Amino acid sequence: MEKYLLIESRDPYETREVENNYALASSLATAGNDVTLFLVQNGVLPARKGAKLNGLQEVINSGVHVLGDEFSLRERGIAMDTLPKGIRAAPIDVVVDQLAEGRKAIWL
């Protein structure tokens, strides 16, 4: 089993490429890998209350650990206590920690 850290900074409502990135995360997880998807910058926008999760729900359902950058959430006015089930707020330190443990990282 490999360990992956995927970092998504783009808004899925802005580019369809994000859907492909979500599919990559899901397929890595369903293949038995330990996958974290770290949403940063505009990548956190689907975590807004009432927003359509689109492909992100499939990512969550496939067993990917989905984290939203605390700073990015605050900057976009997204309350951490309103995040959809399956998305957790996390500090950017998580990225550093996972890189230090040897995860394969892909900035999408």
Q: What is the DSSP string of 66-99?
A: EEEEHHHHHHTT--GGGPPTTEEEE-THHHHHHH
* Residue 8 contacts residue 21 (beta carbons within 8 Å): yes
Mean predicted confidence (pLDDT) in 27-54: 93
pTM of this structure: 0.95
1: its two tokens: 């089993």
In order of start, what are the domains of the chain with their CATH numbers? Answer: 3-107 (3.40.1260.10)
If 0-12 CB within 10 Å is exposed, 13-18 middle and 19+ buried, where does residue 100 land? exposed
- 55-101 residue pLDDT tens: 899 999 999 999 999 999 999 999 999 999 999 999 999 999 999 99
Q: Cα(85)–Cα(70) distance, rounded to whole angstroms?
A: 16
